[in-house]
Amino acid sequence: MKKYFFAGTYEVCEHNNIYLDMNEYNIDSTMDLDKQIRELAKVDVAPLVKVYESDTSDFKDFRLYKEYNFKEYECGCDSSQF
């Protein structure tokens, strides 16, 4: 059975309690998944990317497939500075 994927990018700042949805992207399942996710994180400067999978192309029923964390895009702020 063919699987369908999409990814959501998220802005996260633990110091300021920020967890915001940024963008959603369709993922090409015939291409390297990790490479696609790294590119999306770079474009959005997103420290968190979640990949979801579905058995149907309409994504009416989807589930979390994998989470990617990117330290290089973390906010870097320190709550003691405020």
Q: What is the pLDDT of residues 5-28, one digit of tens each?
A: 999 999 999 888 889 999 999 999
Range of 10's domain? 4-51+67-75
56 assigned to some structural domain: no
Is the pLDDT reported for residue 36 higher than 60?
yes
pTM over 0.85: yes
The tokens for 19 are: 């967890």
39 within domain boundaries: yes
For 8-58, the DSSP string reads EEEEEETTTTEEEEEEEEEE-TTS-HHHHHHHHHHHHT-SEEEEEEESSTT
- Exposure pattern of 52-82 as b/e (b: 16+ CB <10 Å)? bbbeeeeeeeeeebeebebeebeeeeeeeee
Residue 13 is assigned to a structural domain of this protein: yes
Give the mean pLDDT of the chain.
Answer: 91
- Tally of domains within the chain: 1
